Every structure is written in structure tokens, then in C-alpha cells.
Structure 1
Amino acid sequence: MSKFRADISISVDGYVAGPDQSLENPLGEGGEGLHGWVVPLDAWRRAHGEEGGEVNASTQVMEERQANVGAGIMGRNMFFGGGRTGPWDESWTGWWGEEPPFHVPTFVLTHHPREPLTLSDTTYYFVTDGIESAHEQAREAAGGGDVMIHGGAQTIDQFLAAGLLDELELHVVPVILGGGARLLNDLSPQIGLEQVRAIEAPGVTHVKYRVVR
């Protein structure tokens, strides 16, 4: 049975992107520092078609993250960024170029319709009728594999609040951003999390939680 998983880097003060996000600086001020632990990894570089890289305690985490994923979901701001709203500029094909790193059907939450977009082995589907519809479409497309909720913060929070998330893994990075996109914002204290594991690695601590039903 498919599990719905979210996996995201986060600052110690709770932000997954810094302030003043824009098309020129999609992760906001200081946001690039959240990913300094992952970019040098061999497991990350292989997933992006590159060679070489480091092997350390984060390698296991990244390999598990990439295993058994049959579909993905993301919010419009993660796909487009810069706080853009309104109808699509269809010349925009995402941050990842002609070879996106997802390799599975990926569902983008939006208020504005757009035809599916295929780049290499990734097809983006634009979902206008809410997270429940995206949940069902991704579950079916995954074919028994897991569904990864890529982000951003608001999308993960929506799935968690709706009881549609099974696992949450936070990669806690020792930086303070002081503002930006905050994760776990204004959620009910009735949402239960059970810690599954914690792994210390260079520049990051990986903490995985199971969502308690």
C-alpha cells in the first residue's frame, strides 16, 4: 500500500526557505544554506545525472528517500516560485530544466489549469481541484509505490492537517533564517507524531516521524 511521505530540510528556527523569495533567489535569503549537506552527496549527484560525491551518514537517508517512490506532489510555488500567481506563463517548465530529477508522475497544486507537461521521464500534471484530488491521482499513478510530498511548507502542512500524510522526515540544519516559509505553522496540537529515528550526519540531523492516526 502506498505511503505518503514528506521530506524537507529545515532551519533550527523552523523555516524551509528564507525571507524575500523571488525568481532570482527562489529559496530566499540564506535558504541555500539548508541544502549544503545534500548537494555534495554521491546519492544526490547520481539522482541528478552527475558522478562522484561524498558518502557519509546521510547516504542511507538519501537512498531510502529515493526508494519505492512512484509519484510526487508539490505546490505551485515550488514549481514556479517567486510568489507568482494568476494564469500560467507556459514558457516556464520548472526549475529543473529538461531533465527533472523526479522520474515519476508529479502533480502540481494550482488554481489555474494547464495541460500536462512531459520533460524526459517526468510528467507534470496540474491539479486545480484540491489536495484530496491530488492525493487520489498520485496514489493511483504510483501503482503501489510511495508518494513523495516535495513541498513547500504550505503544501506539507495542508496534507498533514487533512490527515493525508503518513511520514514526515525533517533534515534539521544548524542555521537560523529568522523568517521566510515556516513549516508546521498554525497546525492543530491534536496531530500526533511518533519519532521513528534520528541520525546525526555532517551538517545535519535527520529526524523521521510517523503520523499517528
Structure 2
Amino acid sequence: MGTVIMHDVVSVDGFIADDNDDVGPLHEWYFSGDTPLTDEDQSGFRVSRVSAGYVRPMWESIGVIVLGRTLFDLVNGWEGDPPAGDHVVVVSHRPKPPGWHPEASYHFVDDIATAIDTAQELAGNRIVSVNAGDVGSQLLAAGLVDEVAMDVVPVVFGSGKRYFGRIDGQHLLEDPHVVIQGDRVLHLRFAVRSAS
């Protein structure tokens, strides 16, 4: 089974988007560097050399992305071509839109346990990347997340969509095992402390 990593870009005060689902300057570092993230460089992603050394192997190791219906709708499922991974699992009570990219490996499920089971089966030994926010926080609270990864951008939103959604209670993380300072971003990864 692959590692389940809850991941997103986040403001220093803990938001992944504003109240209108706008990410504002959170993703600017993805496009302001001098190093492409892919060999073909058709994606437009150009980060600092330091960030490329972290992001490129992480993205290459992702087998499946798990996300909620809100993000799917906002980005229209990346038109069936996700930025990383071969498959996408969407947690939603609504089915895939009729006729939407039938060739794309997108799987719509209606609960978080089925989402992780489906993602693990599709990913094999590769990483399952869970987007932060409401779905990510539900998975973390259910004990289904192995690591938390944050790309922290030096901006304060004040309000908006929280990285940890509406999670209840405390959830302990280990000391960060990745701390990398890129240009206009700090990459952090923490293992989730087991509840024992």
C-alpha cells in the first residue's frame, strides 16, 4: 500500500483559498521560477531549482489524487489530465458529469473510506495524494492519513477555506522530516503520530 499524504499549498495563517475559493497568490511560486517541473515544459510550471528538487520527485511518485467535488468543479477535473498521478478519486454524492472525459481514469465515490480503498487499489505502492480541506480533514480525523505535506507561502489571508477544514479535536504530528526553503515557499512534511 502506498503512503497517504494530505497535501496542499497554504497561507501562513492556514488557508488554502479565500472565502470565494480563489487561491490568490498561493500558486505564484509554481510559475515564477527558472526550472520546469516536467521535461516537456508544456505544463507551464516553472519553480526555483530548490523547489523542483522537492516537487518533481514527489509528483512523479503520486499514483492517485483524492479530492472533493468542490475542487473538481473549480478546475473542471483538469479536463481529465491531472497535474500528477494516473488516477483521480472524487468524493462526491453526485456522479461524474454525463459525457465528461470518458477516457479519463476518474472514479466518483460517496464516502471517504471507499475513496481511500479505491485509491490504494489504483495506486499500488505509489503515493495517494489527498487534497487538504474538508475531505482531507475527514480522512485525517478517521486515521487514514500517514503524512501531512504543506507548501507554505508567505501571505496572510485572514479568512477562507482552511487547510484542515472543519476538523475536531487535536491530532498530533511528528517533527517535520522535510523542511526545504524554496523561493516564496517553504516545503514541510510531517508524519502523522499514531494514536497508540
Indicate whether the TM-score tops 0.5: yes
Cα displacement string for residues 160-201 of structure 1 (whole angstroms, at most 9, x for unaligned residues)? 111000111111111111111012244321x22012121111
Q: Which has the larger displacement, 158-167 or 179-188?
A: 179-188
Instruction: State the TM-score, normalizing by the size of structure 2.
Output: 0.85
Out of 165, 168, 171, the position equivalent to 2:148 is: 168
Q: 1:192 to 1:6 in 2, by over 3 A?
A: same
**Identical counterparts, % of pairs:** 27
What is the RMSD of the two structures over their aligned residues, measured on CA atoms? 2.5
1:39 correspondence with 2:39: no
Greater share of residues in helix: 2
Shift, 1:47, TM fit? 7.7
Structure 1 CA distance for aligned equivalents of residues 100 and 123 of structure 2: 18
Amino acid at match of 1:144: N
The 5 A counterparts of 1:1-213 are: 1-21=1-21, 27=22, 31-41=23-33, 42-44=35-37, 46=39, 49-50=42-43, 53-81=46-74, 94=76, 96-97=78-79, 99-114=81-96, 118=101, 122-128=104-110, 130-149=111-130, 151-184=131-164, 185-189=166-170, 191-194=171-174, 195-213=176-194
4+ long deviations beyond 6 Å: none
Shift, 1:34, TM fit? 0.4
Instruction: State the TM-score, normalizing by the size of structure 1.
Output: 0.79
Q: Is the 8 A contact 2:5 2:148 kept in 1?
A: yes
Unmatched 5+ stretches in structure 2: none
Structure 2 CA distance for aligned equivalents of residues 52 and 188 of structure 1: 37
Q: How many residues align?
A: 190
Structure 2 CA distance for aligned equivalents of residues 100 and 212 of structure 1: 30
Unmatched 5+ stretches in structure 1: 22-26, 82-92
